[in-house]
Amino acid sequence: MKIFTILFCAIILASCGTHTALNQSIRDEFNLNSEQDLRKVQFYTSNLIILEKSASTGNKETGDDGSLVKNSKKEENRVIIPVNTKGVFDGLGPNGELMVRFEMGSGKTILFTPKANNPEGKYYIVADWTDPKGGQLTYGEDTYTAVSTSSQVYLEVMLKKLQKTRRKDRYVKGMKV
């Protein structure tokens, strides 16, 4: 029974793939250069992505009893995309970036591209990272701020290695004088 359990676990582990960062060499190796080919690939996030948007309103007035009253209202909206969230290719951006969709909705895509100083490297989130609070990007119809840790998030793909071996054994009985 133990042998059966070990054999079963080995088969399960052998059939699983590993998450690997998408880069240009993987795109070249698997010929992922057309939109049609990229639509067949399942993408994953390497880490947590948090997009934030907030709006505040307020007014100042004098109360009935003569006190000064300051009213403020703040509305926050966050989009949280957990690690290993599945995404699909939605199209190419204006500069060849990969537009990846993690949920349904008009314009709800995130652009990914290699960093300018390493065009052969991983595909990172495209945003305006000049603000120390995070990167500005458009998601849906609104502008969001990707928290600063999201700048290190890149796209991953599942890489499986399958090998088929066909073997034909022939036993030789030997020769007699």
What pLDDT, on the 0 to 100 scale, is given for residue 15?
A: 54
What pLDDT, on the 0 to 100 scale, is given for residue 144?
A: 97
What pLDDT, on the 0 to 100 scale, is given for residue 170?
A: 85
**Spatial contact of 53 and 143, defined as CB atoms under 8 Å apart:** yes
Torsional sign, CA 34, 40, 44, 45: positive
Instruction: Tell me the pLDDT band of 167, cut-offs 50, 70 and 90.
Output: confident
> 41 to each of 33, 86, 108, 163, 171, how far by Cα in Å?
12, 10, 18, 20, 45
Give residue limits of the domains in the chain: 24-56+69-159
Compute the distance between CA of residue 41 and CA of residue 87 in angstroms, rounded to an integer.
Answer: 9
What is the mean predicted confidence (pLDDT) over 17-38?
95
Instruction: Tell me the pLDDT band of 162, cut-offs 50, 70 and 90.
Output: confident
**Each residue's pLDDT tens digit, 32-88:** 999 999 999 999 999 999 999 988 887 878 878 878 888 888 899 999 999 999 999
What pLDDT, on the 0 to 100 scale, is given for residue 6?
A: 43
What pLDDT, on the 0 to 100 scale, is given for residue 59?
A: 82
Instruction: Kindly tell me if the per-residue pLDDT of 13 is higher than 50.
Output: no
pTM for the predicted model, two decimal places: 0.77
DSSP class of 140: T
What pLDDT, on the 0 to 100 scale, is given for residue 51?
A: 97
Instruction: Kindly tell me if the per-residue pLDDT of 136 is higher than 90.
Output: yes
What pLDDT, on the 0 to 100 scale, is given for residue 177?
A: 86
Compute the distance between CA of residue 88 and CA of residue 27 in angstroms, rounded to an integer.
Answer: 15
